[in-house]
């Protein structure tokens, strides 16, 4: 079983992780041992998303078990703080365990130095320069989502591409299923629905 933690923080952007968490749930419907999703906040206390949803986490970041992946959704607060989860992210990256950051969370991982020597993206190249610690401008890619195999990054308007890269990295679905899923949600064409239903 793959153990995945989703970091929950106040004002996190609901649309950035929705496709991903729904896809992980679909995988569990197919195979109950497919993955285990743990919601974690900095202290374990409840958070309120940007959309006003109140989420009660399963754990505090320091109490998380060994992880196979860490998901970091965006929020307006990533320009400071989040020290515990950024330390965890750095430890995971050093161990070769994937982390995935979208939108504002890319600023957090830039602050932690995790984008200094690998291809990455964000909302815009200049967005990351808000982090005075950031030294990775030469590795920035003007793409919807980017992975180097360990660190996945995406801009805030690319939740589908973000989820797709996570699904592929964690082998959540066979590649034809991922391709059909992505085709359906990007085009709405019936043929992709039929491919998914057939799978």
Report the relative pairing of strands 151-154 and 35-41 from DSSP bridges. unpaired
Question: Is the model's pLDDT at 64 over the cut of 90?
Answer: yes
> Mind telling me the catalytic residues?
103
What pLDDT sits at residue 194? 95
Q: Residue 41 — pLDDT band, cuts 50, 70, 90?
A: very high
**DSSP code of residue 118:** S
Question: Is the model's pLDDT at 131 over the cut of 80?
Answer: yes
pLDDT over 70, % of the chain: 100
Q: Residue 31 — pLDDT band, cuts 50, 70, 90?
A: confident
Q: Give tens-digit pLDDT for 71-119.
A: 999 999 999 999 999 999 999 999 999 999 999 999 999 999 999 999 9
Report the relative pairing of strands 59-60 and 2-7 from DSSP bridges. unpaired
Question: Is the model's pLDDT at 30 over the cut of 90?
Answer: no
If 0-12 CB within 10 Å is exposed, 13-18 middle and 19+ buried, where does residue 53 land? exposed
What pLDDT sits at residue 32? 85
Contacts of 71 (CB under 8 A, 6+ apart): 4, 5, 6, 7, 17, 20, 99, 100, 166
- pTM value is 0.97
pLDDT over 90, % of the chain: 94
Q: Give tens-digit pLDDT for 153-199.
A: 999 999 999 999 999 999 999 999 999 999 999 999 999 999 998 87
What pLDDT sits at residue 198? 83
What tokens were used for 154? Answer: 């995406």
């Amino acid at each position: 079983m793959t153990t995945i933690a989703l970091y929950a923080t106040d004002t996190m952007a609901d649309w950035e992780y929705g496709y991903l968490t729904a896809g992980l749930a679909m995988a569990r419907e197919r195979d109950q041992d497919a993955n285990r999703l743990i919601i974690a906040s900095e202290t374990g206390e409840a958070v309120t998303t940007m959309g006003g949803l109140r989420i009660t986490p399963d754990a505090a970041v320091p109490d998380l078990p060994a992880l196979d992946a860490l998901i970091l959704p965006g929020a307006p607060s990533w320009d400071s703080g989040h020290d515990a989860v950024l330390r965890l992210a750095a430890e995971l990256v050093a161990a070769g365990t994937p982390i995935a950051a979208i939108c504002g969370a890319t600023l957090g991982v830039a602050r932690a130095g995790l984008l200094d020597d690998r291809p990455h993206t964000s909302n815009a190249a200049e967005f990351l320069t808000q982090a005075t610690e950031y030294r990775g401008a030469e590795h920035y890619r003007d793409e919807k989502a980017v992975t180097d195999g360990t660190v996945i990054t995406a801009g805030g308007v690319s939740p589908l591409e973000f989820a797709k890269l996570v699904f592929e990295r964690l082998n959540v679905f066979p590649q034809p299923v991922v391709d059909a899923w992505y085709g359906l949600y990007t085009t709405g064409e019936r043929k992709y629905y039929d491919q998914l239903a057939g799978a």
